[in-house]
Structure 1
Amino acid sequence: MTIRLCATHDIPEGEVRQVELDDGRMLAVYHLDGEFFATDDLCTHGDASLSEGEIEDGKILCPYHMGSFDIRTGEACAAPCSIAIRTYRLRIDQDDVLLAD
């Protein structure tokens, strides 16, 4: 099943946006180095929306405690974050960013 998340032009290069799925899950969708990535939006360390964080060197910084995660792999990269976030496979179809989950 393929789900449309947004249009490619909705997320400028180097930015992140929150997308809510029909089932209530919240994803963070990133435009990084010409590619699109998606992770769970909720930080595994605390109740923080990662889409409100800053992107730095391929990582998303949690806005609450400044821990970070690798955008491509979901790996926790800096304390206090120690549990990875889930990543999602995406594909681009013309101007649409699609969740290929």
Structure 2
Amino acid sequence: MIHKRRFAVLIGIVLFSSLLILSFLHLLPLNLFSIQQKPEPVPQQIYDYYFILDEADGHSLMYVPLVVSVGDEILTEENKLYEVVKIEENRAYARFVRDINLDKYKKK
């Protein structure tokens, strides 16, 4: 009787420990092979002023004391619309988009 009880306890301990080990082995790949996050992009350094240059020929469009971001639109004195496509240090390069006709916006 004592041997049967010891055997049952021993079997219970073995089953419990094997279940515990299998559960840890099941969760182990989640910790070892976790998905790596993309590194955050380096924030743009902020300058006191920006030169906005034409991307095609490099001539200066304007000088602004504002923070410039990619996607900003610029309207020059000649009513030409440009979009900022690249920023290097305090130089922003803009691509010509279209001519703007302001006559159609004037009140008659």
Question: Greater relative contact order: 1 or 2 (C-alpha under 8 angstroms, separation 6 or more)?
Answer: 1
Higher strand proportion (structure 1 or 2) = 1
Higher helix proportion (structure 1 or 2) = 2
Q: So what's the TM-score if we normalise by structure 1? A: 0.27
Q: So what's the TM-score if we normalise by structure 2? A: 0.25
Whichever of the two has the greater Rg, that structure is 2
